[in-house]
Amino acid sequence: MIKNLSNMLKKKNSKKGFTLIELIVVIAILAILAAIAIPRLSGFNDKAKDAVADANARTLNSATAIYEANGNTLLGADDDSDLYDALVAGDLVQDDVDLTTVNWDGEVWLPVK
C-alpha cells in the first residue's frame, strides 16, 4: 500500500508542462506589458518623421541660400506674395497662412503640407 502511494506521488510530480491557469496568467501579463509598451513606442515613429522633416527643411533652406547667393531668383518670383502663390499653386504649403505673421528675427515661416 505504501508502495502504491509513493508510486502515485512520483507519477503526479513527474508530469511535465504547465497548467492552464499558469498559461492564462502568463498571457495576461504579456498583454498588460504590450498595452503599456505599444503606445510609448508608437511615439518614436512620429518623432523620427519630425526629425526627417526638420533635416529636409534645413537642407532646402541651405540650398535656397546658396542659390540666392549665386545671384539667382527663386521660382521667378518678384516678391514674397508671388513666391507664396507659386508654392500654394504647387500644393507645397497651406493656403490659409497669414503672411503678415513675422517671428522675432523678422522672418516669415510657411508651414509645409
Task: Give domain limits for the chain.
Answer: 19-72, 76-113
What is the per-residue pLDDT for 2? 67
Mean pLDDT for 78-105 is 63
* Whether the model pTM is above 0.85: no
> 35 with 42: CB under 8 angstroms?
no
Distance (Å, rounded) from C-alpha 86 to C-alpha 71? 20
**Cα separation of 30 and 27, whole Å?**
5
Give the confidence band of 77 by pLDDT, cuts at 50, 70, 90: very low
**What pLDDT score does 25 carry?**
96
Each residue's pLDDT tens digit, 22-70: 999 999 999 999 999 888 877 787 788 888 888 888 888 888 788 777 7
**Most confidently modeled of 8-12, 58-62, 74-78?**
58-62
